Amino acid sequence: MQTHTLRDPKRVYYMSLEFLLGRSLDNALLNLQLKNKYGQALNSLGFNLEDLIQEEDDAALGNGGLGRLAACYMDSLACLEYPAWGYGLRYTYGIFKQRIVDGHQTEFPDYWLNFGNPWEVPRLDVVYEVRFYGQCHKYVDADGSVRWKWDGGDKVQAVAYDVPIPGFNNQTCLNIRLWSSKPKKQFDLGLFNEGNYDKSVEEQQRAENITSVLYPNDNHMVGKELRLKQQYFFVCATLKDVIRRFKKTNRPWADFPDQVAVQLNDTHPTLGIVELQRRLVDIEGLEWDEAWEIVTRVFAFTNHTVLPEALETWPVPMMAHLLPRHLAIIYDINLFFLQKVEAMFPNDRDRLRRMSIIEESSPQRVRMAHLAIVGSHCVNGVAALHSELVKNVIFKDFVDFYGADKFTNVTNGITPRRWLNQANPQLASLITATIGDGWSKDLTELAKLKAHADKPDFQKKWMAIKKHNKQRLADLIRKQSGIVVDPESLFDVQVKRIHEYKRQLMNILGVIHRYLALKRMTPAARANEVKRTVIFGGKAAPGYYMAKLVIKLINNVANIVNNDPQTRDYLKVVYIFDYNVSLAEIIIPASDISQHISTAGTEASGTSNMKFVLNGGLIVGTVDGANIEIGEEIGDENIFFFGALAHEVDDIRHAQRYRQVKMDAHLEVVL
Ligand SMILES: *Cc1c(COP(=O)(O)O)cnc(C)c1O
C-alpha cells in the first residue's frame, strides 16, 4: 500500500453494499503460501489447523451471488496487483442464520462480531461526519455567485474498519474499508439542559442503528428509510475518503477522473453519483458542467438484474425528507438529461416519460438504474445473454440515445484460489501434479488436462478424489440432520437463494415424479436405477412467503421419501440448512450434477454454476445467464440444457394463461 501511495497510480474503487467473504484464515495461509509451516507450528503447540479453521465465523455481509462476486473480485484484484480498494458497510449482523423447525425456515441473528473479529483493523483515526435530513437553501457567496447550502438535520459518524485481502503468492495486500456508524462525539447540550437524558441516549442509539443489519433480500427491493440511510451513509463516507486521498497529491480537479475509477456494484451505491456532484458544486465551487463531466468519467455501473421487482426506486417524499439537496440535484440532472433527449427526439413525450429518472407514479419515485446510467460512462451486464437483454429490452431507449458502445458485457467470474485450491485441495494437487501450477493464476491452463482425460490412472485418481469429497459431505449431512446418505449414490445438488425465478419448485416436483416412478417399479426394475441423493440448500428472504413455502414442501417431501422402505435406498432428499460460503466449499466439490434451472432470461449470470464446473461437476441447466458461456467452454457432453429459450418465454406464458392450449408435445410424452 505504501508503494501505491508513493507511485500514486489511478485507483479503482469497488463500491458494494455487500461483501460475502466467508472465512479468512485458510485463504490467507494459502495465498501467503504459509499453510504447511503454519500447520506444523500449530501441531507443535498441540493444535490441529483443520480444527482451528472451523472455529472462525463466516463474514457473511451479503445475500448471495452479488456479494460473493464482490469478494471474488477483490481476491482477483489482489492477485493481479491492481491498485484497488473495496468499500462497504460493517454490518453488526450479517445475513441471518437459518434453522429448519418442523420443516419451516426460522431465522436467527448472525452476531458474527460476538467474540471480536481478528480480520479487521479498526481505524479509529479515519472518521467522517454524515448528515441526514435538514434543509437546503440558496445564498450568494463572497464572489457574488448563487450557491446552495445544506444544513441542520442529524449528524452521525462513519468509522473505518479495514479488512486485508492478500494476493496469491505476491507482495500485494489490498484493503476492503468497511464503515461502521457511531454517534458523534458532541452531545446535544440542548437536550441535556432540558433534562432530557432518555431522548439524548435514544438519539445516540439511532446513530449506531444505521449499520446494524444487512437487509436480507436477494433480487428484491424493499423501500425502508433505514436502507436509504445506509446507502447515503455509505457513499458519503466513501467519497470523503476517496477525495481526501486524491487531495493529498495537490492535483487539480480536472485530474480526478485520471486518478479515480469507481465501479458501482448494482444500483445500491448510485447516490454516490449525486453526492460527488454535490461536493464538487456546493463545496468545491466548480461549475455544474465541469463537475458533471468529472462525475460521469469517474463512475461505471454494473447492472445485476432484469427482474422488475428488483429494480430500485425510492419515493420522492422520502428522498426529499432525508436528502433534500440530493433530490434537488437529481431534478437538475434529470432536466438537463431530458433536454438532450428532447433535442435528439423532438416531441416524443412518451420517450421522455420512459427515460425520466423520475417515475410519474403517486407518489413519484426516483429510478436508481436510470440515474446510474445517466451518471456513468459505462454500463455492463454480467453475462452475454443478460447484457443483450439490458441493451435490447430494459434499457433500449438509453442505447438509442447514447449509442451501443456505452453498454458492454463483463461476464461474472469466481476466484479459483478459494473455489478450487481451498475448497478442493486434493483435486488442486492432482491438477498441479498433472499440468503444473500455472492454472491458479491463469485458468486457461486447465485445457492442458484434455491430454490426460482418457488416461485410466488419471481417471482413477480423479474419481477417488470425488469419492473423498462426497464422503466429506455425507459426514456433514449426518452431523447436521442425522440423515445417512450413500456416497456411492449420484449427488444431485441445487444450492442457492430460494426464489421463484430459480425454480426450486420445479426441481422438487421432479423429485416427486421420480419417487412415484420408483414406487410403480418392480423391485427388480428399481435395482437397475441409479441411486440418487437430491440435495437442496439456501435461504429465503424472511418476508418471502412463497419461497418459505417451497422450503416447507421440500422438507415434507424429504420426510416421505427418506422414510419409505420401498424407495429409500434409491432416493434420498436432504435440505442442508444455513447455506453459506463455508458450506458451499464442502458441498460444491462433492456434486456429480448441479441444477441451474432459472426461467430463461431471469438469472443474470449465476456464479455457483462456475464453481461446480471448476470442481468437475456436470450441469443440468436452462439456456440462461452464464450457463451459455460455460457450455461453450466445457462442451455439450458436460452440460445438459433443456427448456424454453429466453425469447420464447413471453409467448408461452401468454398462451398458458389466456388460451386453453396443450403445453408442449414434449411434456405430454414425459407425463
Ligand atoms: C456462489 C454463491 C452464491 C451464488 O449462487 P448462484 O447459484 O449463482 O445463485 C450464493 N450463495 C453462496 C454462499 C455462494 O457461495
What is the whole-number distance in angstroms between the Cα of residue 550 and the centre of ligand 1? 18
Q: How high is the pLDDT of residue 365?
A: 98
pLDDT of 192 strictly over 80 = no
User: Which of 66, 110, 497 gets mutated to test ligand 1 (max ligand atoms within 8 A of its CB)?
Assistant: 497
Collapsing DSSP states into helix, strand and coil, what is residue 596? strand
Catalytic residue among 411, 567, 607, 622: 607
Q: pLDDT tens-digit profile of 195-243? A: 788 888 888 899 999 999 999 999 999 999 999 999 999 999 999 999 9
Q: Tell me if 538 CB under 6 Å of ligand 1.
A: no
What is the whole-number distance in angstroms between the Cα of residue 428 and the centre of ligand 1? 21
Which residue lies with its CA nearest to atom 8 of ligand 1? 606
502 belongs to the catalytic site = yes
Selection from 408, 412, 441, 358 nearest residue 168 by Cα: 441
Looking from the CA of residue 583, the nearest atom of ligand 1 is 13
Looking from the CA of residue 495, the nearest atom of ligand 1 is 7
What is the whole-number distance in angstroms between the Cα of residue 68 and the centre of ligand 1? 7
Q: How high is the pLDDT of residue 670?
A: 45
Which residue lies with its CA nearest to atom 10 of ligand 1? 64
DSSP 630: H
Looking from the CA of residue 584, the nearest atom of ligand 1 is 15
Which residue lies with its CA nearest to atom 4 of ligand 1? 65
Catalytic residue among 304, 325, 418, 596: 304
pLDDT of 671 strictly over 50 = no
Q: How high is the pLDDT of residue 662?
A: 60
Please give the full DSSP string across 520-563, using - where no structure is assigned: HS-HHHHHTSPPEEEEEE-PPPTT-HHHHHHHHHHHHHHHHHHT
In this prediction the pTM is: 0.97
Q: Tell me if 229 CB under 6 Å of ligand 1.
A: no
Task: Output 251 or 199, whichever has higher pLDDT.
Answer: 251
| Beta bridge mates, 138 | 148
Looking from the CA of residue 607, the nearest atom of ligand 1 is 8
Selection from 608, 413, 610, 622 nearest residue 503 by Cα: 622
Q: How high is the pLDDT of residue 661?
A: 60
Residue given cell 434529470 in the structure block: 334
What is the whole-number distance in angstroms between the Cα of residue 272 and the centre of ligand 1? 27
Q: pLDDT tens-digit profile of 67-108? A: 999 999 999 999 999 999 999 999 999 999 999 999 999 999
313 belongs to the catalytic site = no
Q: From CA 359, how far away is CA 368, in angstroms rounded? A: 10
Q: How far apart are the first and last CA of the chain?
A: 62
Q: How high is the pLDDT of residue 70?
A: 98
Which residues have CB under 8 Å from 444's CB, separation 6+?
Answer: none
CA atoms within 13 A on the CB side of 133: 7
Q: Tell me if 76 CB under 6 Å of ligand 1.
A: no
| Cell output for 337 | 438529461
Q: pLDDT tens-digit profile of 582-615? A: 999 999 999 999 999 999 999 999 999 999 999 9
What is the whole-number distance in angstroms between the Cα of residue 429 and the centre of ligand 1? 25
pLDDT of 461 strictly over 50 = yes
Mean pLDDT of 47-58: 97
Side chain identity at 22, as an amino acid letter? Answer: G
CA distances from 613 to 563, 588, 616 (A): 32, 9, 5
Q: Tell me if 496 CB under 6 Å of ligand 1.
A: yes
Q: How high is the pLDDT of residue 217?
A: 96
Collapsing DSSP states into helix, strand and coil, what is residue 592? coil
37 belongs to the catalytic site = no
Which residue lies with its CA nearest to atom 11 of ligand 1? 64
The model's confidence at residue 659, banded by pLDDT at 50, 70 and 90, is confident
Q: From CA 95, how far away is CA 541, in angstroms rounded? A: 10
Catalytic residue among 326, 370, 611, 622: 611
Please give the full DSSP string across 395-420, using - where no structure is assigned: THHHHHHH-GGGEEE------HIIII
Task: Output 203 or 317, whichever has higher pLDDT.
Answer: 317
Q: Tell me if 98 CB under 6 Å of ligand 1.
A: no
Q: How high is the pLDDT of residue 71?
A: 98
240 belongs to the catalytic site = no
611 belongs to the catalytic site = yes
Looking from the CA of residue 65, the nearest atom of ligand 1 is 4
Q: pLDDT tens-digit profile of 486-538? A: 999 999 999 999 999 999 999 999 999 999 999 999 999 999 999 999 999 99
Q: From CA 428, how far away is CA 450, in angstroms rounded? A: 16
Q: How high is the pLDDT of residue 667?
A: 53
The CATH-assigned architecture of domain 467-669 is: 3-Layer(aba) Sandwich (3.40)
Strands 11-15 and 260-265: parallel
Catalytic residue among 502, 532, 539, 572: 502
Strands 59-61 and 19-22: antiparallel
Inter-residue long-range contacts of 446-450, CB under 8 Å, 24+ positions, other chains counted: none
Range(s) of the chain covered by CATH 3.40.50.2000: 467-669
Q: What is the 3-state secondary structure (H, E, C) of 480-514?
A: HHCCCCCCCCEEEEEECCCCHHHCHHHHHHHHHHH
Radius of gyration of the chain (CA): 27
User: Which of 214, 503, 607 gets mutated to test ligand 1 (max ligand atoms within 8 A of its CB)?
Assistant: 607
Chain-centroid distance of CA 26 in Å reads 22
Q: From CA 275, how far away is CA 234, in angstroms rounded? A: 11
Q: Tell me if 172 CB under 6 Å of ligand 1.
A: no
Catalytic residue among 229, 497, 514, 572: 497
pLDDT of 59 strictly over 60 = yes
CA distances from 84 to 48, 87, 234, 515 (A): 35, 10, 18, 52
User: Which of 18, 19, 20 gets mutated to test ligand 1 (max ligand atoms within 8 A of its CB)?
Assistant: 20
Please give the full DSSP string across 84-143, using - where no structure is assigned: EEEEEE--SB-SPEEEEETTEEEEE---TTTT--TT-EEEEEEEEEEEES-EEEEEE-TT
pLDDT of 664 strictly over 90 = no
Q: How high is the pLDDT of residue 526?
A: 97
304 belongs to the catalytic site = yes
Q: From CA 441, how far away is CA 538, in angstroms rounded? A: 30
pLDDT of 296 strictly over 90 = yes
Mean pLDDT of 243-266: 98
196: left (phi over 0), alpha (psi -120 to 50) or beta: beta
Q: Tell me if 60 CB under 6 Å of ligand 1.
A: no
| Cell output for 297 | 468519467
CA distances from 164 to 25, 78, 170, 212, 526 (A): 11, 10, 14, 22, 54
Which residue lies with its CA nearest to atom 5 of ligand 1? 608
Q: From CA 71, how far away is CA 211, in angstroms rounded? A: 19
